[in-house]
Structure 1
Amino acid sequence: MKITTLADNYVASGKMGAEHGLSLYIEIDENPVLNQEKLNILFDTGQSDLFYHNAKHLGIDLSQTDLLIISHGHYDHTGGLAKFLEINDKATVYIRKEAFWHKMHNGKYIGIPNKEKLLQKDNPAKNRFILTKSIFTPISPLLSIISTPNKSLTSANNFSIKHDGKTEPAEDLFCDEQYLAFQIDGKTSLVTGCSHKGIIDIISDTQHITGNKVIEVIGGLHTSKYSAKEIRELSQKMASTHVKHIQTGHCTGIEQYAMLKESLKDRISYNYTGKSFHTKLMLN
């Protein structure tokens, strides 16, 4: 599995752009022994069409993408959704229905941009959407979409939702959040967008759902507001898991990453726009 970052908060090269958002291009090689076909997957679309322009610069043809997975319904992960549907007429889109709820932060709308157009009956792209419902959705012999149980968050961070015609906002429990699990030989590489439900709980729940050890985490940890004490606690908890490799960025926070790096050392690396890397799953 090869991952190329098409959009993230930072970029190492001036030839590409960065934004507050996340978009990962994932290439799965064919494996006849395991009955795994070759797949090109886009995981989230950032907050604009920047992912598309960066992909062009990297020589990646997004029209050949087979699957799009939306981790949750925030603008910084879905802002390029309309652009993707414009340039790609074949990919299946895996998204939870709750991603279309009216999502807010401090009372400001931060949900899917122009979602009304996406949901119009005469929009042909709507037929390509698969609304995932289960906590475990297999999409190939080695890949599945995971959605962990909902629970009240320890740090709500003023995220709220409106849905089902209700006028009063309610706490957002991130029922829409889902993750991509690449599994082989009893081990899992877990791709996450923002880890709003708490990365330690997500890892634990994923292991319970799949029966496999999570040894690699790729994506944002949602720790940019964490204090030094909270980072120390997270580092201690992470050190007690089976996770040996973390590629993180986006909502993790630069200062928080530096503190995590001090504790976790070579187990954690920083992701950025334009970076390509292979899963460490086969090395452990």
Structure 2
Amino acid sequence: MKKFRGIYLKNDKEIGLLREANRFVSLILDMLGESVKSGISTMDLEDLAAKACEDFGVEPAFKGYHGFPFVLCCSVNEEIVHGFPSKERILKDGDIISIDMGVVYKGFVGDSARTFAVGSIPESTQKLLDVTYESLMKGIEQARPGNNLYEISRAVQVHAESNGFGVVRRFVGHGIGRNMHEKPEVPNFVPAGLPGVTLKTGMVIAIEPMVTVGSYEVEILSDNWTAVTKDRKLSAHFEHSIAITSDGPIILSLS
């Protein structure tokens, strides 16, 4: 493993292990997505994810990380990220739920997130989900050697904002490898006055747009974790971990 400006560059073997870690995450998210329905609690999803980690022989990456107490982040409607699973939070038709999931496999971390619809949702809410995912994919397209990191940020921001949505500033993507959060930070907006870094073959990053119907301003609830939109309007979140290769970006978090 080499380093460039404090950024770990992964070799083929390490990328292979990261691919496997992320594959497990994707399989678990597939299962959770099939389980999302009206009447289920977010704690039911937590229990399913914990059991899946046991079955796959992987370690939950989030539980205990800086004191976070759960396997999953389950963020419903106006919750942006880091929502706590709860027996009392019962999903109902028309909700959306963002599920963020990570595992550790042979010392390497997989990390991915998806937002799911619960039953039927309004067309305007579906547009939020669609544009958030499209913003992620447009960001991934820019993850090529020689590009500036902020080309990823610009692609995400332009697509989300051109469709009338807000882009959360407080939380950003990140490098990933043996640690959950490594350099560089990957913002979903272009920071003013900062040069960014040149993308290199061997970088592995998690790109994760968090997009809002209204303002991008954030409030943290009394549990000191759950982030919600300050105006309490809906938010969606999609994330993929990707490797930057000489042939372009490779999405690792696909099942």
TM-score, shorter chain, exceeding 0.5:
no
TM-score, normalised relative to structure 1: 0.27
Q: Report which structure shows greater RCO (CA 8 Å, sep ≥6).
A: 2
